[in-house]
Amino acid sequence: MNIDRFHGYMMNKKFRNDRVEESLGLVYKCHYPYKTKVTGRGVKFTPFYNALKENGAFFRDVSGWECADWFLTDCDASDRDRKMLEFSKNETFQRPAWFSYWEQEHRACREGVMLLDMSFMSKFIVEGSEAGDALNFLSTADVNGKSGRITYTQWLNQKGTLEADVTITKLTDTKFLVIATDTMHRHVLSWMNRNLKRTTSTSSISITDVTGGLCQLNVQGPLSRRFMTILCDYEEEEDDDDGFFSNKKFAFRDVKEIEIGYAKVHCARITYLGELGYELYIPTEQAIHIYDRVMETREKMISLEQLDSDVSNNIRWGGLKALSSLRLEKGYRDYGHDMDNTDTLMEMGLGFTADLSKVGGFLGKETVVEQKRELKDNKGLHKRLVNVFVDQSELGASPEAAMLYHGETLFRNGECVGDIRAGSFGHTLGGLVGLGHVVAPPPSSSSSSSSSSSSSDGGIRVNKEFLTTGDWEVEIAGTRYKALLSLQPFYDPKNLNIKG
């Protein structure tokens, strides 16, 4: 048990009274996958809440934040509440009644622009003369390079298992922005307080929680560069390679201060959805000003004759359901769902974030080095997180078609070898998509028929050959469906879309 998993707003007598009563009442009820709690609501709102509600957002609880889950876009306000109520009562393990709205948001990101309010993310400013070195020791990647860069990294413990999955932006030589998922808010803050000052003087580092002070608005999709150019009133260059947001001037993982209307915001070229995209970190007091500019830009792009007639459907707000399906098609991890503190960096396929050559090393480095050696010597590891796909043709097209959530069992040659840690419907791929945890069976197992997956010590390892041979199935509600498994994501494995 870890008390850090609780948020500050939960330390409230009324919240505990109401939530405990609701939770006990749900113990013996069917736990439908899209059901969200009804108590303890209306606790935290982003500045975009009212505007997104007017745009048809259906909200769910995200660590106390009211966040848009999906958008109802084809009816007026008078009918919206009625339809929302109908949808909320449609509890099912099959395709939800709002499946088509979710699909439109997903496709907007893949084909045009999706706007996403991610202000619920946890954000911390870490400052001080020793902040860079201290953060670098906690991080598997080198986060203390040149200023104006955002780095994806993990934090490990002494045993070498995962403690956090974060991005760190080096704003100046002494100032860093650390961003983590909402569920890890207290844990990440506690981890920094416990570890950053162990090897530094207590007065050299300050940690400030700025979650409520900075909104996060994501602009993602193949048309996002053009959207940002119009949003910022920048001149469009005849040669796209010379524009402000071009690959030449604004490379992947760059962070720059930009002007939008009367506001200055930090803009990071990064993605969690697998497309060209940008994240805007906006002072809360200027959020509505930015929102108005964003909506003006949307209308301006729709009116441009160069764009397709249906572009209005491809520049839209998206919610958490689209976020989930998009990131799972790309195989992006989510700490607390796909991985936790029982997993190692290499088992989760995140070895690329480890900089083994940086001066001073990092906490938990010994385990990473050992598993890298095992991976090389034995052609794989005993356990791996892998991408899973079930084609639409296996499912059928009816509303009662099976869906993938989490916990479904994976079989190889009829033998259970793992389970799904997170699943969704991949609207681009055309089928169920997820991340599965696979454990190699013992050498005597009937499942391990391929010698190419055997290691030097005779044991079976999870590797490309193991995943591409054998008869793979995933069991959903008692029915088994043929599945494909891969170490690489099924969508854009070479990252061509991200490069723009």
Give tens-digit pLDDT for 427-436: 999 999 999 9
Return the CATH number at 417: 2.40.30.110
Per-residue burial over 193-203, b = 16 or more CB atoms within 10 Å of its CB, e = otherwise = eebbbeebeee
Closest of 409, 414, 408 to residue 471, by C-alpha: 414
Contacts of residue 58, Cβ cutoff 8 Å, sequence gap at least 6 = 68, 69, 70, 71, 72, 84, 87, 88, 98, 319
pLDDT digits (tens, 9 = 90+) for 48-80: 999 999 999 999 999 999 999 999 988 887 788
Q: What is the pLDDT of residue 454?
A: 59
- SS3 category, 407: coil
Does residue 430 fall inside a structural domain? yes
Q: What is the average pLDDT score of the chain?
A: 92
Does residue 175 fall inside a structural domain? no
**Is 90 exceeded by the pLDDT of residue 81?**
no
Q: Rounded to an integer, what distance in angstroms lies between the CA atom of residue 438 and that of residue 434?
A: 12
Does residue 421 fall inside a structural domain? yes
Does residue 53 fall inside a structural domain? no
Could you tell me how far CA 81 lies from the centroid of its own chain?
A: 29
Q: How many structural domains comprise the chain?
A: 1
Does residue 445 fall inside a structural domain? yes
Element (H, E) at 288: helix 287-303
Q: Which domain holds residue 450?
A: 379-500
In degrees, to the nearest 5, what angle opens at C-alpha 485 toward C-alphas 482 and 488? 150
Element (H, E) at 209: strand 206-209
Q: What is the mean pLDDT of residues 107-118?
A: 97
Q: What is the pLDDT of residue 237?
A: 58
Q: Assess contact for 354 and 345: CB atoms under 8 A.
A: yes
Q: Rounded to an integer, what distance in angstroms lies between the CA atom of residue 192 and that of residue 173?
A: 19
Q: Look at the block and give the residue holding tokens 């497309």.
A: 275
Does residue 218 fall inside a structural domain? no
Does residue 455 fall inside a structural domain? yes
Does residue 138 fall inside a structural domain? no
- The angle, 0 to 180 degrees and rounded to 10, between the axes of the packed helices 224-231 and 287-303 is 120
- SS3 category, 338: coil
- Higher-scoring residue by pLDDT: 87, 338: 338
